[in-house]
Chains A and B, each alone.
Chain A
């Protein structure tokens, strides 16, 4: 059974960079036709797709991030990561990592991690 687990600081200061890692177990992230992505959910609000990286190393991001996001994959550690620069309070959210399938939906999710942006 595939499992995903987010890790990273729960508190980030404004203007700094948010860094999260997703560790995948129960399957390999390399050489597959899946994409590996991030979705976030501000407290009490809906879901927002952040971006994903596919098996060809193509990466797509939500334009609403205004080029602040970077997703990378470390196949040696079976992990993928998100960096979001110049954060503000508006970036406070629960961040989920997830596996994206060929039809474009997300079938496996991490449990989510709350990141608060505050000084």
Chain B
């Protein structure tokens, strides 16, 4: 199995801050990585796919980068609506998809 490790697990930030979340894969996954945002009681929402492609309708303050084993999700200027939990997910292994453990972005 490809293990996905996110850091930090919790992040405290203020509105307007630049926020970066890291996701590391246990082996190379090329650019087969997606990022999701999940709010309490809601389904995850796709933000980024193929490591850096922005899903339609997602604000441009969200960006993704990386390839191989290390990836980042950046929120350029944190907005009140962005306080949520973020997950990465690899799809390099076609028949066994795995998610990271999540990063909760809290209000500082």
Interface residues of A (CB under 8 A from B): 46-49, 60, 62-63, 96, 98, 101, 103-107, 109-112
Contacts and interface: CB of A to CB of B under 8 A. Distances in A.
14 contacts: A46-B100, A48-B99, A49-B99, A60-B95, A62-B96, A103-B32, A103-B49, A104-B34, A104-B92, A104-B97, A105-B49, A107-B46, A107-B55, A111-B42
B1 to A, nearest CB: 8
B99 A104 contact: no
A118 B90 CA distance: 32
A56 B42 CA distance: 31
B101 A46 contact: yes
A30 to B, nearest CB: 21
Contacts of A96: 43-44
Given A96-B43, A110-B43, A111-B43, A105 B89 contact: yes
Interface in B59-108: 87, 89-92, 94-102
Given A104-B94, A107-B55, A47 B32 contact: no
Interface of B: 1, 32, 34, 36, 42-46, 49-50, 55, 87, 89-92, 94-102
B87 A104 contact: no
A48 B45 CA distance: 15
B96 A104 contact: no
Contacts of A109: 43-45
A62 B89 CA distance: 14
Given A46-B99, A47-B44, A63-B96, A105 B34 contact: yes
A113 to B, nearest CB: 11
Contacts of A101: 49
Given A105-B91, A106-B44, A46 B102 contact: yes
